[in-house]
């Protein structure tokens, strides 16, 4: 923007300009042209994109960029390489295409939808772009209206404002407002591109695992249509279809229930508002508000747009959900700070009026508001798929290729050997597909996730999206708040200091209570005994307080309410008042009434009140407390131990500085207290000058003609928010587990560093401490020697990529004096460095960072609805230790899922081998597709799911997090175990039963391998099968034998898996030391599996459907004993080897 524009504090009308550093837009000409400084430069900042949108950008031959404004159906967006382009935004079809593209790009299928540009963020006018602004002011940097004079504001928004008396302003005309509404749309928040529920459900069927089953079911159904006599094919098709639909619905229900975030944002916006149009105050739907409208705000109103205040009636607004400021903000007409968030003459959409009222001009509506920017930032555009989903997709792709290749080979071999294509397709291709695809896997995984989520809920960790549990287990870094998460959020007074006095809390209380009434002094101009340093400190701390008594419910008792620091002071000095005066604290406060106050604000870091003090004969005192370094600049004198006033000198400054740094170094929050007798009463001052209150505030802020410099410094009070008792151990557990913990707090760097040392988050010296130890300058300390750093938020905007690369490599990191917007930068940089990052937050303005992090963790007790909706996990007790519980549960889930998958995959080998033997050797097929489905969907589910209840093996929190890029859920060692070891054992036991059963029926092994497809083909004269010794078997005999063979094979798999599940309970620890029968759910699961297996095998009516006959129980016993012996013997030997030689190269093959 031009210097002229900056000087005016506004933007010239009818002008669109694009430069490297800014973009500014105003309604007017339909098309104008400006230049980029360089075609390779990136657009880094956006001032306000005003009403209307840009619809075209064209580069001329000279490198010019043409920008055209036509309709409101497009937005200016920025690509990942920094280039600026136009995207249609409000078109439902475009939104749907964007949403579909995102959905398909995260699926395992190739894209079949035409590529559309998917912005990394919302439209370019949002808080994220403002974060790149030099100075890091965040989204507030896009505001300039708080600095405009009223006449400039009126001209800019083409509204009528009476500069002399704003309450007489006429506002917009109805016709002008209607034009603006028609041109720029309603004042509503546009949700991110989304997919209709019905379409989201249909998209579940594009999952590659489902596609494989759909192909099999469809082909089977077609075969039945061709030959209606093959009823088993219809049963298979129907059963597979039911499985597919139920599984897809299960996945749909998990995916669809998670995102009500936009609704939470919309809940902050009111439905109605009082608007001045044509000079008439009228109620209007909030959606019809346009920029330039005058809004009359009153107590209880939700603010419907971002507004600039032009007339104020003592209004206070709760903007905590937007700005993070805990206390209601006293609203002004004139800006208190260049930063819009601190200016206090800008009120934000979604804030609440808690006192007074005002007249304000709407300057941002809908998506252009601060909330609108947050809605855009909290879209899932930049978030990658969860680690569990990615691992399962990876496994399914491998499985799909493996199954298709096998099925194709079997089909080709069968055709080559002269078999009928239909027979080969049914007995070969379909059975291979069913045998290779674990149909029960989605159900098993979901059940395991639900079990762990329920267990985490009992430990105060509420999981909103099930698959994030495993991601939490893969977490490598946690960015955590301090107050209330690492600490108890229960402030208590620790130390008190004044010139010549330093006491701990109990000492002060005792000394104050026994103080002689002969004390002298003149700080307050009162009687002896009430002017001592001890009494003065109690007086300021007790009266200068915003704590109020409230009832939580109608029937409850009155309890004090305020922020943590105020309540800490209230509790401590309330007891002091009782001991010193014999009065209850509320009676003491009532006896010294508050006449005027200026609430605390983070811009000037103090709060002031004026009281009529009974102990001074009703004289009035100005009392102030706040940041010590800020107050000290306003003081010319200090109070001595005896209550006498002394002029500040170098000796005082040195003693004060040493005390302040000592307190801060101990992790204590330090507050300063000062006072000043009023020369004239407040009433007299107001009679002399009606603007006295405003002038007093300006003087205390340091503005105006006469900045306040005449206060008397009374002393310091330190408060400590003790760490939660369980936090040091939780931090130590994280370090042992290889998880880095980073503190992100708004506290002073000294306080943050001290708390970090107390809880073990920092154990190494920082650069400054190393410099002092070595008696050198901090810049001379070698970078490799610095292992712990404390970074101030003000340093973040100037940090380069090289700076971040160095910083993220440090072992111990604390960010202090950070703003909520800077959390987003921190998360992105740590994620860019390859970390799986968890981020905690509680405010609305934390929601972009919570969405950006791999795991967003919101606070359940003190968090906002928006933060809780943006996060995947909610801590019900706001306790950091609960995150560590979640990490442990996530790691346990990953380990147990591997066990479930290893167990489930093993049965696929004996399901596939009979088809291969039939295709290549021509022997009777030992298992049909229906019995294979019974294993996947019936007998295996309970044992596989029971492994989710398995207790952790040793060392689960003593190893680094898994590498999500290389350590997959289905690694080569696990697949080698499932297919090459356990699967072969099961197959061997099944083959034993297979040959024993044939032998019992009079068919030798030699006869079996000489059958060459001739065993019951159902063809006329060849119906009877004759063995080598002359035995003849009719078609019915052959059917009976085949049913018995298939029933025996099926039951052998069930019994073998019942023996197998025990050894899957541990991967390295011996089952005997872990507890053979320690998992009662597995014990029950084995019984259930055996009963179901017997039910399928022996039930007469069901036997005909699945083609099963009664097996020889003795043969099943032989096979089970063989399988159990091999399972237990081989796996215990492997586990012993892994424990004895943990670094041996064989473990890379055998250990899973």
125: left (phi over 0), alpha (psi -120 to 50) or beta: beta
Instruction: Extract the runs of DSSP E, i.e. beta strands, from 204-288.
Output: 272-277, 280-285
Q: Does residue 227 have an active-site annotation?
A: no
Are the CB atoms for 1085 and 1075 separated by under 8 Å? no
What is the radius of gyration, based on Cα positions, of the chain? 37
Are the CB atoms for 43 and 34 separated by under 8 Å? no
DSSP 282: E
Q: What is the distance between the alpha carbons of residues 518 and 543, in angstroms, rounded to a whole number? A: 23
String of b and e for 329-362 (b: at least 16 CB within 10 Å)? Answer: bbbbbebbbebbbbbbbbbbbbbbbbbbbbbbbb
Pair of tokens at residue 761:
């988050």
Candidates 890, 867, 888, 886; CA nearest to 460 is: 886
**φ, ψ for residue 600, nearest 5 deg:** -65, 145
3-state secondary structure of 930: helix
Burial of 1148 (0-12, 13-18, 19+ CB in 10 A): exposed
Q: What is the distance between the alpha carbons of residues 962 and 985, in angstroms, rounded to a whole number? A: 30
Pair of tokens at residue 932:
């294979």
Q: What is the distance between the alpha carbons of residues 339 and 336, in angstroms, rounded to a whole number? A: 9
Burial of 283 (0-12, 13-18, 19+ CB in 10 A): exposed
Are the CB atoms for 371 and 350 separated by under 8 Å? yes
DSSP 41: P
- Give the bridge partners for 306, in sequence order: 364
**φ, ψ for residue 374, nearest 5 deg:** -65, -35
Selecting among 481, 842, 936, 1007, the annotated active-site residue is 481
Half-sphere exposure of 751 (CA within 13 A, CB side): 21
Q: What is the distance between the alpha carbons of residues 34 and 1, in angstroms, rounded to a whole number? A: 12
Handedness of CA 991, 994, 998, 1001 (dihedral sign): positive
Instruction: Tell me how far CA of residue 213 lies from CA of 197, 249, 624, 904, 1125, in angstroms.
Output: 23, 15, 73, 17, 35
Strand 711-720 vs strand 329-330: parallel, antiparallel, or unpaired?
A: unpaired
Please state, as a whole number, how many other Cβ atoms lie within 10 Å of the Cβ of residue 735. 16
Query: Which residue matches tokens 């930068």?
Result: 825
Contacts of 781 (CB under 8 A, 6+ apart): 767, 770, 771, 774
Q: What is the distance between the alpha carbons of residues 660 and 985, in angstroms, rounded to a whole number? A: 73
Q: What is the distance between the alpha carbons of residues 554 and 1053, in angstroms, rounded to a whole number? A: 65
Are the CB atoms for 381 and 192 separated by under 8 Å? yes
Please state, as a whole number, how many other Cβ atoms lie within 10 Å of the Cβ of residue 224. 20
Task: DSSP for 107-143, please give it.
Answer: SSSPP-S------SSS-SSSHHHHHTSTT--GGGGG-
Pair of tokens at residue 217:
């079911």
Instruction: Tell me how far CA of residue 462 lies from CA of 413, 457, 846, 869, 872, in angstroms.
Output: 54, 5, 19, 12, 9
Question: So which residues are the catalytic ones?
Answer: 481
């Amino acid at each position: 923007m031009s210097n002229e524009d900056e000087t005016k504090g506004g933007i010239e009308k009818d002008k669109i300009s694009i430069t490297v550093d800014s973009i500014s837009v105003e309604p007017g000409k339909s098309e104008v042209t400006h230049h980029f400084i360089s075609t390779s430069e990136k657009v880094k900042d956006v001032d306000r994109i005003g009403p209307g949108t840009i619809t075209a950008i064209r580069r001329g031959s000279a490198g010019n960029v043409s920008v055209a404004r036509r309709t409101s159906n497009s937005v200016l967006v920025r690509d990942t390489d920094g280039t600026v382009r136009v995207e249609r935004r409000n078109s439902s079809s475009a939104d749907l295409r964007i949403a579909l593209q995102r959905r398909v790009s995260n699926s395992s299928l190739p894209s079949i939808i035409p590529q559309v540009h998917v912005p990394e963020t919302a439209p370019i006018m949002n808080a994220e772009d403002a974060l790149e602004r030099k100075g890091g002011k965040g989204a507030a940097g896009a505001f300039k209206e708080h600095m405009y004079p009223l006449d400039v504001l009126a001209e800019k928004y083409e509204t009528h404002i009476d500069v002399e008396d704003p309450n007489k302003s006429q506002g917009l005309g109805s016709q002008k407002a209607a034009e603006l509404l028609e041109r720029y749309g309603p004042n509503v928040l546009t949700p991110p591109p989304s997919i209709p529920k019905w379409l989201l459900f249909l998209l579940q069927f594009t999952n590659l695992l489902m596609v494989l089953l759909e192909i099999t079911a469809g082909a089977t159904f077609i075969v039945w249509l061709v030959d209606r006599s093959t009823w088993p094919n219809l049963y298979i098709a129907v059963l597979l279809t039911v499985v597919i639909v139920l599984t897809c619905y299960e996945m749909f229900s998990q995916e669809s229930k998670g995102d009500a975030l936009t609704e939470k944002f919309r809940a902050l916006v009111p439905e109605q508002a009082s608007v001045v149009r044509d000079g008439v105050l009228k109620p209007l739907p909030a959606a019809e508000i346009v920029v330039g409208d005058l809004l009359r705000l009153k107590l209880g109103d939700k603010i419907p747009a971002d507004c600039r205040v032009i007339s104020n009636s003592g209004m206070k607004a709760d903007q905590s959900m937007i700005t993070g400021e805990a206390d209601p903000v006293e609203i002004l007409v004139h800006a208190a700070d260049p930063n819009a968030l601190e200016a206090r003459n800008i009120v934000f959409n979604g804030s609440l009026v808690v006192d007074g009222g005002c007249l304000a001009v709407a300057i941002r509506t809908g998506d252009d508001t601060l909330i609108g920017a947050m809605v855009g930032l909290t879209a899932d555009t930049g978030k990658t798929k969860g680690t569990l989903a990615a691992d399962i997709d990876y496994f399914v792709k491998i499985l799909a290729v493996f199954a298709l290749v096998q099925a194709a080979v079997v089909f080709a071999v069968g055709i080559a050997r002269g078999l009928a294509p239909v027979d080969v397709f049914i007995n070969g291709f379909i059975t291979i597909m069913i045998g290779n695809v674990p149909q029960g896997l989605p159900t098993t995984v979901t059940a395991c996730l639900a079990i762990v989520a329920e267990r985490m809920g009992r430990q105060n960790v509420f999981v909103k999206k099930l698959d994030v549990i495993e991601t939490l287990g893969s977490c490598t870094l946690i960015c955590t708040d301090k107050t209330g998460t690492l600490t108890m959020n229960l402030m208590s007074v620790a130390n008190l200091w004044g010139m010549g006095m330093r006491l701990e809390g109990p000492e002060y209380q005792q000394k104050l209570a026994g103080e002689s009434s002969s004390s002298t002094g003149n700080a307050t101009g009162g009687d002896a005994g009430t002017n001592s340093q001890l009494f003065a400190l109690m007086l300021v701390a007790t009266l200068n307080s915003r704590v109020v008594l409230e009832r939580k419910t109608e029937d409850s008792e009155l309890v004090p309410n305020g922020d943590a620091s105020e309540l800490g002071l209230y509790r401590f000095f309330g007891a002091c008042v009782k001991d010193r005066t014999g009065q209850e604290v509320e009676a003491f406060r009532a006896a010294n009434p508050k006449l005027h106050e200026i609430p605390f604000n983070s811009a000037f870091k103090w709060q002031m009140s004026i009281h009529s003090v009974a102990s001074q004969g009703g004289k009035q005192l100005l009392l102030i407390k706040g940041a010590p370094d800020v107050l000290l600049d306003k003081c010319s004198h200090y109070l001595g131990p005896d209550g006498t006033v002394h002029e500040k000198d170098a000796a005082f400054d040195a003693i004060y500085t040493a005390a302040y740094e000592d307190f801060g170094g101990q992790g204590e929050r330090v507050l300063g207290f000062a006072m000043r007798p009023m020369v004239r009463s407040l009433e007299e001052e107001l009679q002399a000058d009606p603007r006295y209150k405003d002038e007093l505030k300006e003087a205390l802020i340091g503005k105006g003609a006469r900045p306040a410099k005449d206060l008397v410094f009374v002393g310091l009070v330190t408060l400590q928010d003790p760490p939660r008792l369980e936090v040091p151990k939780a931090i130590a557990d994280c370090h042992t587990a290889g998880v880095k913990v980073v503190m992100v707090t708004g506290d002073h760097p000294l306080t943050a560093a001290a708390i970090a040392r107390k809880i073990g988050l920092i154990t190494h010296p920082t650069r400054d401490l190393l410099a002092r130890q070595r008696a050198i300058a901090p810049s001379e300390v070698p970078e490799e020697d610095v292992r712990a750093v404390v970074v101030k938020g003000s340093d973040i905007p100037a940090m380069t990529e090289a700076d971040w690369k160095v910083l993220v490599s440090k072992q111990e990191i604390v960010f202090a004096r950070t703003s909520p917007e800077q959390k987003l930068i921190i998360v992105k940089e740590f994620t860019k460095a390859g970390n799986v990052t968890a981020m905690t937050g509680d405010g609305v303005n934390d929601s972009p960072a919570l969405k950006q992090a791999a795991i967003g963790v919101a606070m359940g007790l003190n968090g906002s609805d928006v933060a809780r909706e943006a996060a995947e996990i909610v801590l019900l007790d706001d306790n950091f230790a609960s995150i560590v519980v979640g990490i442990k549960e996530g790691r346990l889930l990953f380990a147990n899922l591997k066990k479930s998958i290893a167990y489930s995959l093993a049965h696929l080998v004996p399901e596939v081998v009979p088809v291969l033997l039939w295709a290549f050797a021509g022997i009777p097929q030992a298992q049909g597709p229906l019995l294979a489905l019974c294993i996947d969907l019936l007998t295996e589910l309970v044992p596989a799911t029971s492994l989710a209840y398995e207790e952790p093996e040793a060392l689960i929190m003593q190893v680094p997090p898994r590498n999500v890029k290389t350590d997959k859920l289905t690694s080569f060692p696990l697949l080698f175990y499932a297919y090459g070891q356990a699967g072969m054992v099961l197959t061997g036991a099944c083959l034993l039963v297979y040959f024993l059963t044939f032998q019992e029926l009079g068919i030798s092994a030699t006869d079996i391998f000489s059958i060459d497809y001739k065993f019951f083909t159902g063809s006329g004269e060849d119906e009877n099968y004759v063995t080598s010794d002359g035995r003849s078997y009719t078609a019915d005999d052959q059917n009976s034998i085949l049913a018995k063979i298939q029933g025996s094979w099926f039951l052998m798999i069930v019994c073998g898996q019942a023996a197998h599940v025990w050894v899957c309970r541990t991967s390295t620890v011996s089952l005997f030391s872990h507890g053979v029968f320690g998992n009662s759910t597995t014990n029950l699961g084995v019984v259930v599996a055996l009963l179901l297996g017997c039910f399928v095998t022996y039930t007469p009516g069901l036997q005909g459907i699945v083609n099963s006959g009664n097996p020889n129980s003795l043969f099943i016993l032989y096979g089970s004993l063989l399988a159990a012996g091999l399972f237990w013997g081989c796996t215990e030997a492997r586990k012993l080897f892994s424990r004895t030689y943990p670094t041996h190269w064989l473990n890379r093959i055998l250990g899973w």
